């Protein structure tokens, strides 16, 4: 199971991260706009990364 901390860390370092609110044009609270996590990325669907970057980024974090 993936933790919230892992989702946040991977989101921060992911080259493919694109905040969902930037695509939809819908604004939300400032705090949630600034929070980076896989869960706030347009590529996160059904609790997984649809461009297969999560595992690659997580592995690279473990090696630094």
> Are the CB atoms for 12 and 36 separated by under 8 Å?
yes
- Residue 21 has a pLDDT of 75
- Residue 24 has a pLDDT of 45
Read off the tokens for 64: 């630094």
> Are the CB atoms for 32 and 40 separated by under 8 Å?
yes
* Alpha carbon distance 6, 8 (integer Å): 5
What does residue 22 show for φ and ψ, rounded to 5 degrees? -75, -30
The residues of the chain scoring below 50 in pLDDT are 24-31
pTM of the model: 0.79
* Alpha carbon distance 10, 4 (integer Å): 10
């Amino acid at each position: 199971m993936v933790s919230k901390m892992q989702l946040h860390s991977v989101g921060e370092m992911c080259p493919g991260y694109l905040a969902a609110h930037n695509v939809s044009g819908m604004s939300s609270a400032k705090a949630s706009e600034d929070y980076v996590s896989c869960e706030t990325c347009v590529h996160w669907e059904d609790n997984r990364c649809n461009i297969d970057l999560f595992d690659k980024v997580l592995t690279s974090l473990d090696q630094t």
